[in-house]
Amino acid sequence: MKRMLTGLQPTGVITLGNYIGAIKQMVKYQDEYESFLFVADLHAITVPNSNINLKENTRSLIALYLACGIDPKKNTIFVQSQNEYHANLSWILECNTYFGELSRMHQFKEKSKGKENFTAGLFTYPVLMASDIIIYDADYVPVGIDQKQHVEIARDIAIRFNKKYGDTFIIPEPIISETGTKIMDLIDPTKKMSKSSENQNGVIRLLDEPETIRKKIMRATTDSEMLVKFDEENKPGISNLINIYSSFTGKTVSEVEEQFKDSNYGTFKKAVADVVVSELEKIQIKYNEYINGTEIDQILKEGREKTRMYAKAKYDAVKRKIGFYE
């Protein structure tokens, strides 16, 4: 059975972007592949963020995974920092990665832009991500389009290692959803919707109150044309709402355009708010059950044991290939 893996950072309550780009994909494919889903807490410390409570956010993220439909019987769920082999392998991979390649990563350029002091961890983030993936021989990685470049560098690093030391790693492939691959900020639809965004009005969080979600969608930036038509360049706000609606209803972009061809933006936005609120309300009810229950501790205990065993075996194989003293 092919293996699939993804992880999200516990940097805040996850957004509609994280949900559509990563979690919905994991739920969709969990019957088809052996699945690994983790909390990427080592990645969460690459940028300074003194406001985040890693422990609390980690538990909350796991509760959200489960509430969104991630089945713990079909997925191995774990916390990255509870498995030291990721970071150990990352060092070895760093010694097989070029400075130039890392300098070209969009996320690094965006997150370091205008800052004098950014960490070396922000720069080497993609190597740790490569380690997260290839240490489990994952075949597929569901990600939003914003992370595609990171899966590509993971492939390059794995191919390079295999050539140098002999076949060791499976070469992973990204899984990117057909619609809604990059959900944009509702206020500034030229910018991706992000957990760490400063303007809360542009971001829908999975635990936002239904009324807040409605308000945010109704106030989303659009254009003056009053035509529900997909055109990312000239109508980024409406195109973003079409992507969201499409992803929640399973309708194609042209079906959405046809459905709302005679509607004004108010009617369309209300329809978007209805489908989002209806799905997120169900998730919130389940979230409250999981966050107050005891299931999470047992799930993480099992996930930790299993993934440490897998990761250790791969790490030992890598050390043997390189010729380290045993």
Catalytic residues: 111, 192, 195
Three-state secondary-structure class, residue 3: strand
Q: Does residue 144 interact with ligand AQP by CB under 6 A?
A: yes
Q: Which of 195, 214, 216, 235 binds ligand AQP (CB under 6 A)?
A: 195
CB nearer to ligand AQP: pick between 123 and 165? 123
Q: Does residue 269 interact with ligand AQP by CB under 6 A?
A: no
| Closest separation in Å from C-beta 22 to ligand AQP | 4
Please count the residues of this chain forming the interface with ligand AQP, following the rule CB under 6 A: 22
- 72 touches 295 (CB < 8 A): yes
- Which of 5-13, 160-168, 231-239, 266-274 is the region at the interface with ligand AQP (rule: CB under 6 A)? 5-13
DSSP 22: I
**DSSP string for 157-181:** HHHHHHHHH-S-----EEE--SS-S
Q: Which of 275, 282, 273 is nearest to 251 (CA)?
A: 275
| Closest separation in Å from C-beta 281 to ligand AQP | 21
Place of tokens 């106030």: 219
| Closest separation in Å from C-beta 193 to ligand AQP | 4
DSSP 38: E
Residues 31-70 that bind ligand AQP (CB under 6 A): 40
Q: What's the rounded Cα separation, in Å, for the pair 114 and 186?
A: 24
- 268 touches 241 (CB < 8 A): yes
Q: What's the rounded Cα separation, in Å, for the pair 128 and 94?
A: 8
Q: Which of 15, 46, 246, 247 binds ligand AQP (CB under 6 A)?
A: 15
Q: Does residue 182 interact with ligand AQP by CB under 6 A?
A: yes
Residue 225 tokens, joined: 């044309």
- 137 touches 169 (CB < 8 A): yes
Q: What's the rounded Cα separation, in Å, for the pair 216 and 138?
A: 37
CB nearer to ligand AQP: pick between 82 and 177? 177
Q: Which of 162, 196, 249, 284 binds ligand AQP (CB under 6 A)?
A: 196
Q: What's the rounded Cα separation, in Å, for the pair 48 and 55?
A: 16
Q: Does residue 236 interact with ligand AQP by CB under 6 A?
A: no
Q: Which of 4, 21, 67, 204 binds ligand AQP (CB under 6 A)?
A: 21
Q: Does residue 239 interact with ligand AQP by CB under 6 A?
A: no
Residue nearest to ligand AQP (CB): 21
Residue 311 tokens, joined: 């990761």
- Between strands 34-39 and 173-175, the pairing is unpaired
Q: Which of 228, 20, 248, 310 is nearest to 144 (CA)?
A: 20
CB nearer to ligand AQP: pick between 71 and 146? 146
| Closest separation in Å from C-beta 60 to ligand AQP | 13
Q: Which of 71, 84, 101, 146 binds ligand AQP (CB under 6 A)?
A: 146
Binding site for ligand AQP (CB under 6 A): 6, 8-9, 11, 15, 17-18, 20-22, 40, 143-144, 146-147, 182-183, 192-196
